[in-house]
Amino acid sequence: RRFSPAVQEIKKAIPIDQRKAIQIRINAGQVPKDHWVNDPDIGGGRIIGEVCHFVDLAIFLAGSKISSLSAQALSDSNNLMDTLGITLKFQNGSIANISYFSNGNKKLPKEYIEVFSGTIVFIIHDFKKLELLGRKRIVKKYKRQDKGHRNELVRFFESIRKGEPSHILFDELYHSTLATFKIIESIKQNRTIVF
């Protein structure tokens, strides 16, 4: 999601040293227990296979590493951990909440993101529209939903072709991956994880 036009615009507009409060809500929908995403050897479960993207997005928007996290999952008989809430605190003082829900309704758009910084609020509506609430209200609609997949691939292949480093540093990838696994640990141990 970090390569989407909406996220790139937010990142350019907010000073890097300004603390942010971030709210990410995902109406993921249900998948059957035997779906590949829930297979630990193939999809790794929805936290490993899907929530990881939103952890990366929160880290990117905050512009900082996570200092602590806690997570709670709605109990279910299949122990899928696919309806959960995550709270992240960052080293720079920013905070984020990720609400990943599999028990929603298809009529509700899938992804909704709010970024509060100073007195300005940015709202991403399912990566189809970006709204800015500041002195004025500005709305930018995109021709199509754009979560940044194409832009990410273009940048990736461009870096290979030019022999340049990746646009995502290895340290960021490692930290995001570690945090994703720590979410599972937090749920299972019912505790806050400090980095």
Selected residue with higher pLDDT from 96 and 168: 96
> Per-residue confidence at 76, pLDDT binned at 50, 70, 90?
confident
Report residue 156 as tokens: 């990736």
Confidence (pLDDT) at 184: 97
Fold classification of 5-194 (topology level): Dihydrodipicolinate Reductase; domain 2 (3.30.360)
Give the number of other Cβ atoms within 10 Å of residue 184's Cβ: 18
**What pTM did the predictor assign?**
0.92
- What are the two backbone dihedrals, phi and then psi, of residue 99, each rounded to the nearest 5 degrees? -110, 110
* Total Cβ atoms within 10 A of residue 55: 25
Q: Quick one: how far is CA 165 from the chain centroid?
A: 23
pLDDT in tens, 98-138: 999 999 999 999 999 999 999 999 999 999 999 999 999 99
Angle at 112 between CA 110 and CA 113, to 5 degrees: 145
Predicted local distance difference test score (pLDDT) of residue 172: 93
pLDDT of residue 181: 97
**DSSP SS3 for 152:** helix
Cα–Cα distances in angstroms (integers) from residue 176 to residues 50, 109, 123, 151, 170, in the given order: 12, 25, 23, 20, 10
Residue spans of beta strands (DSSP E) within the chain: 21-27, 66-73, 84-90, 95-101, 111-117, 120-125, 129-133, 137-141, 193-194
pLDDT at residue number 80: 84
What average pLDDT is seen over the chain? 94
